[in-house]
Amino acid sequence: MSYESKSIRDAIEEVNRTYFLPAIQREFVWDTYRVEKLFDSIMGDYPISSFLFWKVKEENKKDWVSYEFIRNYDQENPHNTEADLSGTNRDIYLVLDGQQRLTSLNIGLKGSYRYFYYRWRKTELYLNLLKPIGRNEENPEELEYQFEFRESDETNNHDNELWYKVGRILDFMDSEDAKSDIDDSIKNLDKQKQENAKKLVGRLHSRIHTYKFINYYEEKSQDYDKVVEVFIRANTGGKTLEYSDILLSTATAKWRTLKAREEIYNFTDEINNIDVGYNFGKDFILKGSLYLTENLPIQYKVSNFTKSNLEKIEDNWPNIKRGIDDTIRLINKFGFSNKNITASMALLPIAFYLIKLNKNNYINSSDKNDVKNQTEIQKWLILVFLKNSFGGSSDTTLSNLRTELASISDHSKFPIDELNKRLGIGLSFTDEEVENLLHTNYKTKYSYLILSLLYPDRDWKDNFYHEDHIFPKSMFTTPKLKNKGYDEQKSKEYQQYFNTILNLQLLTDSENLEKSATDFDTWISTRDDNFKSRHKIPILDSYHFDNFIDFITERKKILKLKLNSI
């Protein structure tokens, strides 16, 4: 086993010419700082690790779907383009290890990086030629050379900054020509700064054109299974390779008519753009593909990704998309967002059920039986979240629930009792569970879910609800409590409860905006007759701030009864 070496310039010239990416590779994920740090390492003569290239013979190149390296990265559209190899009459190389680094070099030397920071910015990589050479001993974490993604070379600090576009270095085969090219830019600088600028340009030129930083091993096997194993082993030193990556690459190679990569990435984008937006990854979609295709194993094992299994997934792909899409739209109607989906795998049994139900326009149905059924789905989802039912062996849990759902002949009613029996949970909470739930704090992992249980008859469709402090939280600061004449013990008691479920309710956005920080005794006097019942507000003679502990004591009784009644 031997390695070969080449310069960065020679390697970059082969990108999207003979160097491509296999479908097995993840997409580019480095931020601008990681790219800048890579160039800093190169300028400082630090090793940038080795690369692994898979040599695919010309006659075999059509057997594998390949993708181009990104040159102009766009955070809004980060996907790679499929490579067209129809006119490539030679062997090609697929990069198994080193994609992030090689893409970064391509962007820094030949492309751009578009990202959002207060506004959208399209930037290119620059080097400050006036930064003194040498590491900052007082701050060793600071990069030695000042590389920076910028929108232009303009600066308001001409004494300390002269920005040189890094890609310009490719225009000169001779370092002296590169240094002469900056003469006009530095002619008004003092001698020391001129020397510093020319040294940096010369150093950049030698590191890109001359030094052989690209050390790579060439895998020549044409056996795909062996190459997959090589890829797994090569990537265990970095971010752990997920089996979904293997499934994606294998599906891309073995689906008969659809292009798996485009289908999966496009569908992931679609569900993430539903209403308020979500953040599901391809792992969720791929796991769902296994789960929603009956009689397939759901574990991420390479041995499960056979040609036969993948063909079943491809045949079932329309149902998979429909089931997942309907599920996301349904939970969106319930008010679930990234903030309160605590176990995304819990959505898959719901998707399986909706596929079996096979009812058109079910999500928007106003039929009373459908509405009741959806309420059961919502209740079940909240319960399994709060009871952390998917926190352990989720594959076993999922498999058991799929078996139960597949055995039911009548899907007109969501089988909440049967599923809970499989999970070993009840529809009620223990006294200890109730106590813990009621002391959950504002806008934490489970707070919205708990509050949702207090409104079983609420119409969640097309409404967005806010968590609201019944007694305004601004009143519970130590100085304000002290100004009211409360001693330390009473102040601590007030602060113990004000931010918990006991002092929270769900209001519409307009209600919440109207209420703002209004004192509760003033606010409650303006509400309709059913407001107290709707929000589980106890009946008191007075809702003055002095009676806050009485309010908490009485509301706790109501909420306990409500949670126990489920």
DSSP codes of every residue in 20-45: EEETTSPPP---HHHHHHHHHHHHTT
CA angle 278/283/284 to nearest 5° reads 50
How far apart are alpha carbons 21 and 23 in whole angstroms? Answer: 7
How many Cβ atoms sit within 10 Å of the Cβ of residue 328? Answer: 23
At 460 the pLDDT is 64
How far apart are alpha carbons 215 and 369 in whole angstroms? Answer: 66
How far apart are alpha carbons 45 and 108 in whole angstroms? Answer: 17
Q: Give, as one character, the DSSP assignment of residue 442.
A: T
Contact at 8 Å (CB) between 410 and 418?
no
At 61 the pLDDT is 78
How far apart are alpha carbons 208 and 62 in whole angstroms? Answer: 33
Burial class, 141, CB count within 10 angstroms (exposed 0-12 / middle 13-18 / buried 19+): exposed
Lookup: tokens for 155: 């600066």
Q: Give, as one character, the DSSP assignment of residue 303.
A: G
List the one residue out of 432, 436, 349 whose CA is nearest residue 384: 349
Lookup: tokens for 116: 């959002």
How far apart are alpha carbons 14 and 312 in whole angstroms? Answer: 38
In the chain, domain spans:
4-215, 242-421, 433-565
What SS3 string covers 142-169? CCCCCEEEECCCCCCCCCCCCEEEHHHH
At 238 the pLDDT is 43
How far apart are alpha carbons 270 and 265 in whole angstroms? Answer: 9
Contact at 8 Å (CB) between 555 and 471?
no
How far apart are alpha carbons 101 and 321 in whole angstroms? Answer: 34
**Among all chains, which residue has been given the structure tokens 């006294």?**
431
How far apart are alpha carbons 26 and 191 in whole angstroms? Answer: 48
How far apart are alpha carbons 291 and 313 in whole angstroms? Answer: 10
At 135 the pLDDT is 65
Strands 92-97 and 19-22 turn out to be parallel
Amino acid at 548: F
**Among all chains, which residue has been given the structure tokens 């706790």?**
556
* pLDDT digit string (tens) for the chain, length 566 residues: 578 999 999 999 999 999 999 877 778 999 999 999 999 999 999 989 889 898 888 888 777 778 999 999 999 889 899 888 888 888 999 998 899 999 999 999 999 999 998 899 999 999 999 998 776 655 556 789 999 999 999 999 999 999 999 999 999 999 999 999 999 999 999 999 999 999 999 999 999 999 999 999 888 877 766 766 676 666 655 444 455 666 666 676 678 888 887 898 899 999 999 987 899 988 899 889 999 998 898 876 656 667 788 889 999 999 999 999 999 999 988 878 777 788 999 999 999 999 999 999 999 898 999 999 998 998 899 889 988 898 766 889 999 999 999 999 888 899 999 999 999 988 778 889 999 999 999 988 789 888 988 887 776 655 678 899 999 999 999 999 999 999 999 999 999 999 999 999 999 888 888 898 899 999 999 999 899 999 999 999 999 999 999 999 999 999 999 888 76
Contact at 8 Å (CB) between 403 and 349?
no
How far apart are alpha carbons 551 and 543 in whole angstroms? Answer: 7
Q: Is 466 helix (H, G, I), strand (E, B) or coil?
A: strand
